[in-house]
Structure 1
Amino acid sequence: MRRTARDTEESARRVNRRTLLMGGAMAAMFAVLGARMRYLSVEQADEFRLLAEENRINMSLIPPERGLILDRKGGLIAGNEQNYRVTMTREGAGDTEAVLARLTRLIPLTAEDLERIARDLDRNSPFVPIIVADRLSWEDFSKVALNAPTLPGVTPEVGLSRHYPLVEDFSHVVGYVGPVSEKDLAERPDPDPVLRIPEFQIGKIGVERWMEDTLRGTAGNKRIEVNHVGRVMRELERIDGTPGQDVQLTIDADVQNFIQARLGEESAACVVMDVQTGEIIACASAPGFDPNLFVRGISQRDYSALMEDDHRPLANKTVQGAYPPGSTFKMVTALAALQDGLITPETTHSCPGYIEFGDRRFHCWKRGGHGRVDLARSLSESCDVYYYEIAQKVGIDKIAEMGRKLGLGIRHDLPMSAITDGIMPTKAWKKERWDQDWRIGDTINASIGQGYVLASPLQLTVMTARIASGRAVLPRLVRAIGGQQVEFPEAEPLDIPAEGLRAVQSGMFEVMNSQRGTAFSSRIADETMVLAGKTGTSQVRNISAAERARGVVSNDQLPWNRRDHALFVGYAPYDNPRYAVTVVVEHGGGGSAAAAPIARDAILRVLHGDIPPLTAYPANQRGRIETDLNALREKLRSGGGAAKSRA
């Protein structure tokens, strides 16, 4: 059928309209695509460039330099030393066995070392370096460096590692660092990323642990270029971190060394403290250990030796040890009775050698008794019966209140590990702890520092400093941080009548300077440095009635671990107190024989600033003392603390 002109015109009009619609749609689509391409290529260029670079550039943290730990004179206690080590990558070495064989001819590598190296190589990626040898001598390190061309994949490196130059002297106070463990990370809700750096070290105990955030510093970072498998090609940028702050302690390293040597082979502790400021001048626990062993991970053999030693070298006895204070506690009982007005310094009690309460007999250490004694003589000769009598009047709760006022039963806040609260028992404490009622016999035992009463050497030193100064002095271990002095408020006066303190101080003077005093043989002859103190002997075993009837077995007849603990507390000079001292000798026997002589030497060393002169000792002892001091000199390290440095 033949189309008319009108039909042809209408058809052309529809085609043109359709063409226009399709063309417009295509133009709009290309416009959108163009706009999107411009947005991605121009406006988002930086973002995509960064994403691209992240495929070839990594950010890496740089461990900060750890802050130093110094003694009160600025001597180095814990520092950082150059650490020469050798690393290896499996990718670079190729035949690792052949490379290690050549390496063993240059540096000492044991079969155990080779097993560990093989294990580390298998566990890590081929391009990740593992440590082959650490803490090399300069000679061994130089051998590896000179032979580097024949040792593919082996790299000699120089870094920093923690070092403790005074070895055992500060092992318990300062502690040590070691590799970060999963436990360390778990203890921190938001751990610093630097803790995840391989081989990074963190404080484990002591000042190193409790001042970790201060000592650690902040990490730096570096940008490194890597290839498609992640191997490092080159370093592009480095920003060093901020070193940790130096921490200066109140302890005198030379005094600490003297006391540590004086404690010798004993299982013992000694604390010396400034009675006015609370600064701890010495805090020695024996035996010590070498903290350097822990820095890179202690061997099982060395750790087992420390753990199996019955003298417990890993325990910090100065703050962790909780001992029955024995007769050193008698000042607490006396002050409680004096404050409550139940006795005066002139009040007397008769000591026949025991008291009977119900069906039980409580003995004095002196089997025949002391006769009639007043406060001064009860302290001087350490009469137990006197305290049995007054304790029944004052009661345990008042005794405990006085004990806490003097710093017992309280955890003192210092940056050291495992600080004990001790035990200052009350009626409520026994009910809560043991679900038992308090008995008079418990009070009698507590009155002479036995029974439930426990105290650390630090707590006993605080007690002595407070008695000597009449102030609520608190112990201090940190003197400055980052070169800035740490300010502490002046200690407040104790709420104890001055006449009561004077009466107890007078009794402590008699302990040392009366011929009947239990520590008369350990007196100081120099009248400007007169020592006041109190001996103590705390039982670690029960003495049966049958044994008392036939005669108590002397300490030297018993196995070491069944002997009494020996204690001594004191301060000097008596007329102008400056320092308080406490000595505890585990299983040492009597306080007068084992602990008091050590305390005298320690406080003389502090007062004189050097080895005590013979004139400070009684004339009839000087021959023996001279021999002892000469032997002691041979144990002391030469010179003072190391100079302050960051290398």
Structure 2
Amino acid sequence: MPDLGSERGSLVETHKGYNPRVIVFYLFITALLLILISGLAYQQLIRSDSFHESERKQNQRRVLVPGPRGNIYDRDGRPLVANRPRFAVNLYLGELRKEFRTEYIRIRKAYREADDKNLPTSTQMERIARFTVVKRYLDQINRTLGREEKLDSDDLEKHFRQQLLLPYLLVDDLEPGEYARLIEQLPVTSPLQVYASSIRDYPSGSIAAQTLGYVTANDAIEAAEDFPGAELTTFKMKGTLGREGLESRFDSLLQGETGGAIYRVDPAGYRINPPLSKRQPVHGHNLRTSIDADFQTAAEKAMADTELAGAAAAIDIRTGEVLVLASKPDYNLKDFIPRLGYAAARDITERGAWLNRATHGLYPPGSSFKILTAIAGLRAQTTDPEVLINCPGFYQVGGRRFPCHDGHAHGEINLATAIEKSCNVYFYKVGLDMGVEALAAEAKRHGFDKPTGIEISETRGMLIPDPAWKKERRDERWFPGDTANMAIGQGDVLVTPLQMAAFTASIARDELTTTPTLLHEENRLSQHSARSGLTSAQYAALVAGMEACTVTGTSKVLQAPFMKIPGLRIAGKTGTAQKQTAKGTINFAWFICFAPIENPQIAIAVVIEGDTPGEETAGGRYAVPIARAILKKWDDKQKAPPSAFKNFAPSNPASVAPAP
């Protein structure tokens, strides 16, 4: 037999205490678990705030609501621009979710039962369902109000996709009776609600239209820096933006403070009430202007009677506050509410009514500029109040004969008579004797070469020409005839009506400049600038000539029984300027004045544009009656008790920051 014992050792299995492969596997699993645990810990402990913030941004929305604009008042607290409620019917689509779903199921069932092979897609049926539900509500409103409003499918869908949190406008601008019926019939819990917003209103009509300006819709309203939720998706109700005039210049002041709320939304984007936070919008600051509504109305009515274009400006001589700033043609401010239509915009453009002629109209000043020429001549000592100059009816300059304004010889006349009669010859000689440099320098001393500094926009195209300008602009030399024309406010001289009113106010104070302002301040200090440089005798002669102009001179119509203002002494100067056009020569009628002479308080400048080539448009005939209408209202106000013209004080009339 074989010896089994000798082979036993070869049959015994041996085992090691560990397997290296298993250990490696365990280590790998352990590492993965550690990585997983570390990742979870990082996400839960370290990045949890980031996830919470991301979640908040996904399920929260911010809705901004503009505050009402501030009101604009005249100097006595009478509203020129205010707000009125505008009522509209809004539908809150977020409250119709169940109705949309029910209608969707009904439509889908109807298509399937009809075995329609042209079955709409799910998205199309959802759109049909929304339109059907909203139209039922609109039909309800139409039956109640007797209207025939239509529903725009594309507009509805755009609102649903982009502005679901905002109410959908069904019917706008309800009449008072319609508003009353709806308030009575609509349940409080109805998704249909009457919404009140504020729109501009004009209690004084459309006076000072270009000065006040207008507003347009603004889709980009902004919230204050401390308003929460700037990082959230934000929906904005439409606000307003000031355009032109005071509405534009003080837009940031008039703008109300934006309010709004932050809402939670579900995954479909529907709002969940109540809001997480809410802030009420705040009314904007009011603006107290220097305009006097009575004077402004009187000026505009008198201008409208001429049926011609033009402008008028009146200034408080002591303070520089603008009492009147009128321009014709103008526009109806109510046409801009809620928005300006194409036909109305085209009409404004065709009539040239966008232009504020008081601040942007550029005109040769004509004989009204002779007051400046007189001052320049007196300061240059090329004339004196008692110096006599012979007027044979013309003045020879080189080979050209320059006529006097009416073609008549005035004979030997002094300064006061030359102003009274508006003698061209006198001022031709004064201008030529002093030279263009002295004349241009004096005009610039009085600010005729730059804007007045009023708060609203004004042209920078005013022009006081001189030899350097003519050489640069036209590459021509200056001729004596240019000086003669400039001396009587013709040639290339261009000024605005507001400049002429400010100049007249300065003359009334015997000073150089007046800075007009459209803001009213109670007890404003008197405005002063450097003195004109005239002696008392020279100034007296200048004013005497201007008074004679209104009594026996070119504006003596003010003494007619139907024009005279008893007890009011007026210093004035008429002017008639010409402009060459493609159709012929157009005349501009001017009148500047201040009153009362013994205590100057109001200065006025008026210009009226002729519309027929070759037709005489004299200042005494066209411009003087407009100034007289303003003066009559001013005189009536001086004689009336102070309370007779006061309406009410605005809640914050002085909330106007100084113009930068």
Match of 2:255 in 1: 216
Match of 1:87 in 2: 90
Displacement of 1:326 in angstroms is 0.9
Gap change, CA 1:405 and 1:119, over 3 Å in 2: farther
The unaligned stretches of length 5 or more in structure 2 are 1-6, 97-129, 223-229, 611-615, 653-660
Displacement of 1:575 in angstroms is 1.8
Q: What is the alpha-carbon distance in structure 2 between the residues aligned to residue 269 and residue 5 of structure 1?
A: 128
Q: What is the alpha-carbon distance in structure 1 between the residues aligned to residue 576 and residue 68 of structure 2?
A: 47
Match of 2:102 in 1: none
The unaligned stretches of length 5 or more in structure 1 are 186-191, 544-558, 614-637
Determine if contact 1:259/1:602 at 8 Å carries over to the other structure.
yes
Deviations along 1:469-526, one digit per CA (max 9) or x if unpaired, are 023321111235xxxx79788422235233443332222122123x3x1112314866
Displacement of 1:218 in angstroms is 3.5
Within a 5 Å distance, the mapping from 1:47-62 to structure 2 comes to: 47-62=50-65
Determine if contact 1:269/1:285 at 8 Å carries over to the other structure.
yes
State whether structure 2 residue 404 is matched by structure 1 residue 347.
no
Match of 2:617 in 1: 589
Q: What is the alpha-carbon distance in structure 2 between the residues aligned to residue 34 and residue 433 of structure 1?
A: 83
Within a 5 Å distance, the mapping from 1:65-104 to structure 2 comes to: 65-88=68-91, 92=96, 94-95=131-132, 99-104=137-142
Q: What is the alpha-carbon distance in structure 1 between the residues aligned to residue 311 and residue 14 of structure 2?
A: 119
State whether structure 2 residue 597 is matched by structure 1 residue 536.
no
Match of 1:603 in 2: 631
For 1:493, give the aligned amino acid.
A
Gap change, CA 1:32 and 1:490, over 3 Å in 2: farther
Determine if contact 1:167/1:289 at 8 Å carries over to the other structure.
no
For 1:594, give the aligned amino acid.
Y
Displacement of 1:562 in angstroms is 6.2
Displacement of 1:415 in angstroms is 2.9
State whether structure 2 residue 465 is matched by structure 1 residue 428.
no
Gap change, CA 1:105 and 1:563, over 3 Å in 2: farther
Gap change, CA 1:250 and 1:56, over 3 Å in 2: same
Q: Which moved further from structure 2: 429-438 or 120-129?
A: 120-129
| TM-score normalised according to structure 2 size | 0.79
Instruction: From 264, 286, 301, give the equivalent of 1:225.
Output: 264
State the SS of the aligned residue for 1:410. coil
State whether structure 2 residue 480 is matched by structure 1 residue 440.
yes
Q: Count how many residue pairs are aligned between Structure 1 and Structure 2.
A: 585
Within a 5 Å distance, the mapping from 1:536-555 to structure 2 comes to: 536-541=575-580
Determine if contact 1:90/1:121 at 8 Å carries over to the other structure.
no
State whether structure 2 residue 166 is matched by structure 1 residue 131.
no
Match of 1:174 in 2: 212
Gap change, CA 1:306 and 1:60, over 3 Å in 2: same
Match of 1:624 in 2: none
Determine if contact 2:365/2:489 at 8 Å carries over to the other structure.
yes
State whether structure 2 residue 181 is matched by structure 1 residue 143.
yes
State whether structure 2 residue 201 is matched by structure 1 residue 163.
yes
Deviations along 1:575-615, one digit per CA (max 9) or x if unpaired, are 221111112222282111221232123123224317999xx
Q: What is the alpha-carbon distance in structure 2 between the residues aligned to residue 566 and residue 612 of structure 1?
A: 32
State the SS of the aligned residue for 1:564. strand
Match of 1:556 in 2: none
Match of 2:108 in 1: none
Deviations along 1:267-324, one digit per CA (max 9) or x if unpaired, are 3322111112111112122343221211321122222333333xx4333221121111
Determine if contact 1:253/1:641 at 8 Å carries over to the other structure.
no
Determine if contact 1:319/1:420 at 8 Å carries over to the other structure.
no
Q: Which has the larger radius of gyration?
A: 2
Instruction: From 533, 539, 551, give the equivalent of 1:496.
Output: 533
Determine if contact 2:63/2:236 at 8 Å carries over to the other structure.
no
Gap change, CA 1:326 and 1:487, over 3 Å in 2: same
Q: What is the alpha-carbon distance in structure 2 between the residues aligned to residue 489 and residue 604 of structure 1?
A: 24
For 1:216, give the aligned amino acid.
Q
Deviations along 1:152-192, one digit per CA (max 9) or x if unpaired, are 9754211112222222113121111012389x99xxxxxx9
Q: What is the alpha-carbon distance in structure 1 between the residues aligned to residue 150 and residue 429 of structure 2?
A: 71
Deviations along 1:32-81, one digit per CA (max 9) or x if unpaired, are 53344234324443432232132221012221222221221222222222
Within a 5 Å distance, the mapping from 1:343-422 to structure 2 comes to: 343-422=383-462
Q: What is the alpha-carbon distance in structure 1 between the residues aligned to residue 484 and residue 414 of structure 2?
A: 18
For 2:156, give the aligned amino acid.
L
Within a 5 Å distance, the mapping from 1:256-405 to structure 2 comes to: 256-266=296-306, 267-309=309-351, 312-405=352-445
Gap change, CA 1:175 and 1:389, over 3 Å in 2: same
Deviations along 1:404-448, one digit per CA (max 9) or x if unpaired, are 222323212223244454222222222333333222222211111
Gap change, CA 1:239 and 1:384, over 3 Å in 2: same
Deviations along 1:109-139, one digit per CA (max 9) or x if unpaired, are 67xx748x45633544354654343322221
Determine if contact 1:274/1:281 at 8 Å carries over to the other structure.
yes
State whether structure 2 residue 274 is matched by structure 1 residue 247.
no
State the SS of the aligned residue for 2:409. coil
State the SS of the aligned residue for 1:159. strand
Match of 2:110 in 1: none
State whether structure 2 residue 76 is matched by structure 1 residue 34.
no
State the SS of the aligned residue for 2:438. helix
Match of 2:555 in 1: 519
Match of 1:478 in 2: 519
Determine if contact 1:120/1:130 at 8 Å carries over to the other structure.
no
Gap change, CA 1:322 and 1:118, over 3 Å in 2: farther
Gap change, CA 1:430 and 1:106, over 3 Å in 2: farther
Displacement of 1:205 in angstroms is 0.9
Determine if contact 1:265/1:287 at 8 Å carries over to the other structure.
no
Q: What is the alpha-carbon distance in structure 2 between the residues aligned to residue 5 and residue 479 of structure 1?
A: 121
Determine if contact 1:77/1:641 at 8 Å carries over to the other structure.
no
Displacement of 1:458 in angstroms is 0.5
Sequence identity of aligned pairs in percent? 26
